Structures are given as C-alpha cells and as structure tokens.
Amino acid sequence: PDTAIIVVAAGSGTRLDAGAPKAFVGIDSHSILRHALDGVFAASPAQVIVVAPAGFEGDAETELRAAAGDRVDLGRVVTGGDTRQRSVAAGLDALWGDVTRVLVHDAARALTPPEVIDAVAAAVDEATGVIPTLPVIDTLKRVDGDAVVGPIDRSELAAAQTPQGFPRALLESAYEAALTAGVDHTDDAALFAAAGHRVRQIAGSARGFKITTPADLERARHMLAAVSE
C-alpha cells in the first residue's frame, strides 16, 4: 500500500488512572488499542505501525495480530518515546517500502470510524496535510488568572481529531526540523504547519473523541453497548 497509519499508543494514561498504560485498558472485552486497530484494519489496506510503551511491545503485538487478520504482514510494533512527538518519530523511522502518505492516529481515539480514516487518506495530496475536525460547541473565554478577559468567536475555531494525514516526504522533513529546533508539538498538524505547509480540515466524527478520563471510558462503553443492542 502507498499509505501507512502510525497508531501512537505509548502514552501512560495517568489521567485515566486505570493501573495500566491507557492503550491496554479494556473498554468492553477488548482494549482501547484493539478497538483502535479494528477501525484501522476496517479501512482501506495500509501499512500499520503500532507505537507501544516500552515493555508492552509483546502485548501490542498480540493486539495487532488479533485485529489484522490476513493483513498481519502489513503490521509492525515499535517502541515509543517519552513525548507524543518522539513516539510519532519512532513510527516514522519504522516505515518501509514505497509509502507516500502517512496518517498519524491516536490509539486513544479508539472508536474512530474507518470512513473517517479513508476520508483523511483520500484528501491528502503531495503538498497538503489533512485533519478531521468538529465544530466547537462550548462557549469559550479568554482568561488571565481568575479574570475573564474576553469572548472568543467559536465560529473561527474547530476541535482537531485524528487520524491526521500528510505527504510522507514533507512530514519527515517537518519532523527533522522540529527535532533541530528543539520544539515539542503535541499535534502533528501544528508541527507540519510550523514547517510552512498547508493543512486542510474535513468533517470528523463524534465517535472520534479521545479517551482521556474515566468519564470518557464510560462514554465509549455506552457507545459500544448502544451498537450491540
């Protein structure tokens, strides 16, 4: 395939407080990582790099094999780093073959529909990055300490999800530039834009929310239960 999907799953998940790295916490009988990989393998065939926490590579391999089915040759597990950016960089280093397009996906967005993954991949061209977004629903304020300084026009804002898709060559050089500059971005689109490249948005999905807190895990459980009823 000319597309690779880097699934970053090396976070510690301290905000989830579930006693294991977040990707290995169960939603139902399956872990967050397994659900994320089920979505990835339900999308069009792509090379899949799972970036695992150090010490959990074997567990990640098990989840990869279970999700991949007959596409297991397209998958590979590598060890992550201590920031998300370092984990993505480890994933980029593990790409093989003639991949021209890279999607970076948070394992924590475990219920992201395969349609969103395919739509992002389809929208990437040789010069442009693509991210799925949702409109901002909350009323937002600019604050300074306890002072509310002013309103923010939410029509100018969007909430970013993953997978975020990029042309491989430009993403790799943008990662090198961030490394040289010593900047740590928490978002690949920001890193890509910092290198001077254009990023477009397409429609995300409510199911693409990031599981961060125990309440998010509950929300994911409810969504899965609603589907199987």
SS in 3 state form for 59-107? HHHHHHHHHHHHHHHHEEEEECCCCHHHHHHHHHHCCCCCCCEEEEEEC
Q: How far is the CB of 88 from ligand C5P (least distance, A)?
A: 7
Q: Which of 11, 129, 163, 204 binds ligand C5P (CB under 6 A)?
A: 11
Task: Tell me how far CA of residue 92 lies from CA of 88, 103, 154, 204, in angstroms.
Answer: 6, 10, 34, 24
Q: Tell me how far apart the alpha carbons of residues 36 and 65 are, in angstroms, rounded to a whole number.
A: 13
Nearest to 12 by CA among 63, 80, 66, 58: 80
**Matching residue, tokens 């593990």:** 94
Q: Which of 3, 31, 87, 112 binds ligand C5P (CB under 6 A)?
A: 87
Q: Which of 4, 6, 8, 119 binds ligand C5P (CB under 6 A)?
A: 8
Q: Which of 107, 174, 178, 189 binds ligand C5P (CB under 6 A)?
A: 107
Is position 51 an interface residue for ligand C5P (rule: CB under 6 A)? yes
Q: Which of 128, 133, 205, 212 binds ligand C5P (CB under 6 A)?
A: 212
Is position 5 an interface residue for ligand C5P (rule: CB under 6 A)? no
**12: three-class secondary structure by DSSP:** coil
Give 210 or 219: the residue with its C-beta nearer to ligand C5P.
210
Residues at the site binding ligand C5P, with contacts judged by CB under 6 A: 8-11, 22-23, 51, 80-84, 87, 106-108, 210, 212
